């Protein structure tokens, strides 16, 4: 029996006024025009010291021979409160459950889940998790005073166990801007392999911050879980044809 856990996060910039004058100057260094400064502020979502976790999508599956069984499809959502525990889960239109509570609490529960009996021994699957999701999760947890239960960054740049990062695999660990190992986004790759894109319902990562400000939590959760489902399907393609 094999276990697989597909992980994806969505993030957003921290409020600008949380940073003092010297920090703001540091973040906007060499950004001269208003357009450049605005773009720099949007990019704050990509770093755990300037951005925060909107949600974590988790997709747990078990495989016994050719039989794959879905065990869990959940989205842990930061609902902009200090709630330490989620209320009853919300059933999502696209399948899965949504839990709403604070960023710190959802991170605490995420790390507990990774070492739970249900998840123990699972192989992690991501798209760009090695360079984004995993370091963000670990560093953001530290900022909030939550100790990770697992070192998601163990190993080296080119060799790490218990984790398949499909961005690395589809670029053969040598992503380029052009050529045979060009770095494509998940939307492009899924379409190339005949998989429904998670962006097919009109939401993508650039819209998350605005949706979050409007408290459109279910819409974000549906998008995040569509990401993990598409990532799993892409993993199956890679495993069948390109894993050696």
Q: Are 102 and 81 in contact (CB under 8 A)?
A: yes
Please report the pLDDT score of residue 202 as a whole number: 83
Please report the pLDDT score of residue 78 as a whole number: 98
Torsion angle of alpha carbons 211, 130, 51, 145, nearest 10°?
120
Torsion angle of alpha carbons 116, 112, 102, 8, nearest 10°?
-70
Domain ranges of the chain: 2-12+57-241
Please report the pLDDT score of residue 94 as a whole number: 86
pLDDT higher than threshold 90 for residue 116: yes
Mean pLDDT of 139-163: 97
pLDDT digits (tens, 9 = 90+) for 7-20: 999 999 999 999 99
Q: What is the pTM of this model?
A: 0.96
Mean pLDDT of 98-102: 98
CATH number of the 2-12+57-241 domain: 3.30.420.10
Enter the tokens of residue 37.
Answer: 């400064």
Please report the pLDDT score of residue 99 as a whole number: 98
pLDDT higher than threshold 90 for residue 205: no
Please report the pLDDT score of residue 231 as a whole number: 98
């Amino acid at each position: 029996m094999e276990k697989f856990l597909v992980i994806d996060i969505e993030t957003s910039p921290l409020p600008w006024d949380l940073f003092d004058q010297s920090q703001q100057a540091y973040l906007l260094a060499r950004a001269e025009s208003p357009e450049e400064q605005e773009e720099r502020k949007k990019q704050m979502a990509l770093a755990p010291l300037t951005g925060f976790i909107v949600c974590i999508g988790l997709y747990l599956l078990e495989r016994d021979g050719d039989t794959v069984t879905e065990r869990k499809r959940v989205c842990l959502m930061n609902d902009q409160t200090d709630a330490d525990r989620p209320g009853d889960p919300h059933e999502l239109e696209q399948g899965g459950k949504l839990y709403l509570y604070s960023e710190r609490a959802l991170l605490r529960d995420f790390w507990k889940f990774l070492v739970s009996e249900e998840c123990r021994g699972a192989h992690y699957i991501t798209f760009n998790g090695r360079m984004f999701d995993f370091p963000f999760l670990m560093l953001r947890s530290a900022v909030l005073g939550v100790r990770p239960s697992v070192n998601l960054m163990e190993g080296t740049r080119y060799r790490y166990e218990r984790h398949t990062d499909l961005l690395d695999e589809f670029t053969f660990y040598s992503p380029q801007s052009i050529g045979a190992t060009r770095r494509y986004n998940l939307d492009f790759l899924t379409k190339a392999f005949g998989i429904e894109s998670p962006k097919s319902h009109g939401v993508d990562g650039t819209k998350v911050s605005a949706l979050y400000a409007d408290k459109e939590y279910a819409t974000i959760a549906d998008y995040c879980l569509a990401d993990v489902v598409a990532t799993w399907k892409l993993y199956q393609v890679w495993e069948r044809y390109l894993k050696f």
